[in-house]
Amino acid sequence: MIEVLGQVPYQPTYAAMQDFTAARSAETPDRLWICEHPPVFTLGLAGRAEHLLATGDVAVVATNRGGQVTYHGPGQVVAYPLLDLKRRGYFVKEYVYRLEESVIRTLLAFGITGHRVAGAPGIYVRLEDPRSHAVLEQRPKKVEASVSQEDPSVEGPQAKPSQSARPDFTGLGKIAALGIKVSRHCTYHGVALNVAMDLSPFSRIDPCGYPSLQTVDLSTIGVSVSWQEAADVLGQKLVTYLSP
């Protein structure tokens, strides 16, 4: 199921995901592609140009995933589950929850506590104490709240949350971003975990559409781990938590 692609250009990989999904049948085995990309900014269906602050010589690619703008680059583990949700027996909200849980369990393997934030898909860590197990006040109060009708990281054009509805990122840094597409019950795009990156390109955008949202990686919070080790752990956690 797991295919480690290494470092591959973003656009051909995106096209390959689309082709695989369009050609698959009810009998096509699911796949999990794990890779990293050369520097690229990607825009989701809800993406707005004003969130691209100073892209410079880094390419910007418009995509059909949910969400706003994010950055991919070396030192980031990107996982693309190509799954038939109907065959697996769960729906999009649970799929997103399982993706996030896989990242949380991956971080836990390295001694870090990951958190969900209400209204903001992805995984976050406490900046002052990334290893703290204390319950986060900003957490979703129900499992069902992890993906709302205005969730910008699921497929389809979504309404931009109002400024008053901005999630509370106080004391937090984002360590993993999530954006998906579901077509005929089949998933592509996925999740990106920051391991040991040049984080400066994130300052050239509003990450996920949120000005001043701080982005971190494992390296900046004190975890020294290779890309391959992080990829291996994330891949195994995804296989476990995405199982039917």
- Residues designated as active site: 208
Q: Contact at 8 Å (CB) between 182 and 85?
A: yes
Beta bridge partners of 89: none
Q: How far apart are the first and last CA of the chain?
A: 14
CB burial readout 90-129, b (16+ within 10 A) else e: eebbbbbbbbbbbbbbbbeebebbbbbbbbbbbbbbbeee
Distance CA 98, CA 243 (A): 9
Helix (H) or strand (E) holding 184: none
- Do the Cβ atoms of 167 and 118 come closer than 8 Å? yes
Specify the DSSP class assigned to residue 192.
Answer: E
Find where tokens 């990829």 sit. 231
